């Protein structure tokens, strides 16, 4: 059984190992141990904080294999982007020029540096160990965040975004960076990626071009990757697309990866989730499996069997599940389908 839970200080070493293994391009999962330590501390404080509206909270989660007590993945939520430093994106816009005397029409795209996604909630930091990319583990790691959001709506903005990792090779070479960013930053892609989290991002405002970038002037390799996700990110992006996320014509300023978004209340897991009371615990429960979570800020979620009664809004789960989620009879349980068809 897998447990999706809030991260704690003792998880630092293992999260650092996952970060080292994740490659280049997951900006919010730094390989610097001190930065990770700060983010875990920030997360722990956010879970304990009384919140009536989102400000500057960060919620970090881990996925733990209960058979081995091994942490195999991580994901997170930033409640409101751009609180302490600007949140930059490139907006992809279409423009048209027409010369009637020559009967020539030109359609082209430009990239403009904007802060349009500032103030939205961002889901981020998702990485799952390759050996565990099976058996719905990716679904739990991604959707576990939504079931937490479903029970704590006041902690999040009305719109949720996800910046998907853009295309780069095994050596960290990004076609988009090599044609755009490097001309202004004069540093490798990996270093710019690191500085994004390690600094207040002032270097972006100082060095990025103020005028639009004309897409047609970029190399074919750079044009091809605009708005395209990294190969390893496609499964995670597909999960979000099925949740109701859509590409919003914004891309990452470094690797050109797509930004996708959805209204908070329209995300399928949130919209379809229900709060139920645990009526009884059983040695064994069979039937359909669901995404199950406690309603505490010491958050825990898993995928397992549940039986529920629509009339009295109650459910039955196994004793093993109850122990894992730290709940008992009479407690509330947030339940959502693993897939929207359930």
Q: How many CB atoms lie within 10 A of CB 1?
A: 13
Answer for the pair 113, 205: CB distance below 8 angstroms, yes or no. no
pLDDT category at 205 given cuts 50, 70, 90 is confident
Of the ranges 26-35, 78-87, 186-195, 253-262, the best mean pLDDT one: 253-262
Give the active site residue among 16, 56, 151, 230.
230
Query: Residue 126's pLDDT is what?
Result: 93
* pLDDT over 80 (residue 229): yes
* pLDDT over 90 (residue 31): no
Query: Residue 340's pLDDT is what?
Result: 66
CA–CA distance, 103 with 246 (Å, rounded to integer): 36
Whether 151 is catalytic = no
Nearest to 228 by CA among 313, 280, 168, 314: 168
pLDDT in tens, 132-146: 999 999 999 999 999
Token pair, residue 139, equals: 């679904």
Question: Within its chain, how far is the Cα of 131 from the centroid?
Answer: 20
Q: Tell me the domain boundaries of the chain.
A: 2-90+114-268, 273-337
Question: Within its chain, how far is the Cα of 208 from the centroid?
Answer: 25
CA–CA distance, 311 with 168 (Å, rounded to integer): 52
* pLDDT over 90 (residue 227): yes
Answer for the pair 73, 129: CB distance below 8 angstroms, yes or no. yes
Q: What's this model's pTM, rounded to 2 decimal places?
A: 0.93
Sign of torsion over alpha carbons 236, 237, 242, 244? positive
pLDDT, mean over the chain: 92
pLDDT in tens, 20-29: 888 776 777 8
CATH code of domain 273-337: 2.40.40.20
Instruction: For strands 121-128 and 159-163, give the pairing.
Output: parallel
Q: What percent of the chain has pLDDT over 70?
A: 99
pLDDT category at 296 given cuts 50, 70, 90 is very high
Answer for the pair 323, 286: CB distance below 8 angstroms, yes or no. no
CA–CA distance, 12 with 30 (Å, rounded to integer): 12
Query: Residue 342's pLDDT is what?
Result: 46
CATH superfamily of 2-90+114-268: Gcn5-related N-acetyltransferase (GNAT) (3.40.630.30)
Query: In the predicted model, what is the mean pLDDT of residues 317-326?
Result: 96
pLDDT category at 215 given cuts 50, 70, 90 is very high
SS3 labels along the chain: CEEEEECCHHHHHHHHHHHHHCCCCCCCCCCCHHHHHHHHHHHHHHHHCCCCCCCCCEEEEEEEECCCCEEEEEEEEECCCCCCCCCCEEEEEEEEEEECCCCEEEEEEEEEEECCCCCCEEEEEEEECHHHCCCCHHHHHHHHHHHHHHHCHHHCCCEEEEECCECCCCCCCCHHHHHCCHHHHCCCHHHHHHHHHHCCCHHHHHHCCCCCEEHHHCCHHHHHHCCCECHHHHHHHHHHHHHCCEEEEEECCCCCCEEEEEEHHHCHHHHHCEEEEEEEEECCCCCCEEEEECCCCCCEEEEEECEEECCCCEEEEEHHHHHHHCCCCCCEEEEEECCCCC
- 150 vs 286, residue with greater confidence: 150
């Amino acid at each position: 059984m897998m447990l999706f839970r809030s991260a704690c200080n003792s998880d630092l070493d293992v999260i650092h190992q996952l970060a080292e293994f994740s490659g280049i391009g997951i900006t919010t999962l730094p390989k610097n141990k001190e930065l990770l330590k700060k983010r875990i501390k920030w997360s722990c404080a956010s879970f304990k904080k009384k919140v009536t509206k989102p400000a500057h909270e960060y919620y970090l989660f881990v996925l733990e294999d209960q058979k081995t007590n091994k942490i195999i993945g991580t994901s997170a939520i930033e409640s409101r982007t751009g609180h302490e430093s600007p949140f930059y994106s490139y907006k992809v816009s279409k423009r048209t020029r027409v010369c009637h005397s020559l009967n020539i029409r030109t359609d082209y795209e430009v990239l403009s540096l904007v802060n349009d996604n500032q103030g939205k909630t961002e889901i981020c930091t998702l990485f799952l160990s390759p050996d565990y990319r099976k058996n719905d583990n990716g679904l739990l790691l991604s959707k576990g965040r939504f079931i937490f959001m479903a029970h704590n709506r006041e902690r999040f903005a009305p719109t949720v975004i996800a910046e998907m990792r853009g295309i780069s090779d095994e050596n960290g070479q990004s076609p988009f960076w090599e044609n755009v960013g490097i001309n202004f930053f004069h540093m490798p892609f990996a270093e710019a990626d690191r500085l994004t989290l390690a600094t207040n991002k002032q270097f972006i405002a100082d060095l990025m071009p103020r005028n639009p970038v004309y897409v047609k002037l970029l190399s074919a390799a750079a044009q091809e990757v605009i708005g395209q996700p990294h190969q390893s990110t496609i499964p995670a992006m597909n999960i979000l697309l099925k949740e109701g996320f859509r590409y919003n014509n914004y891309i990452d300023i470094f690797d050109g990866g797509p930004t996708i978004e959805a209204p908070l209340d329209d995300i399928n897991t949130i919209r379809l989730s229900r709060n139920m009371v645990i009526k009884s615990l059983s040695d064994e429960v069979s039937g359909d499996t669901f995404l199950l979570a406690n309603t505490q800020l010491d958050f825990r979620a898993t995928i397992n069997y549940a039986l529920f009664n629509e009339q009295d809004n109650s459910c039955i789960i196994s004793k093993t599940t109850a122990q894992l989620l730290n709940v008992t009879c009479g407690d509330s349980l947030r339940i959502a389908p693993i897939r929207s068809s359930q």
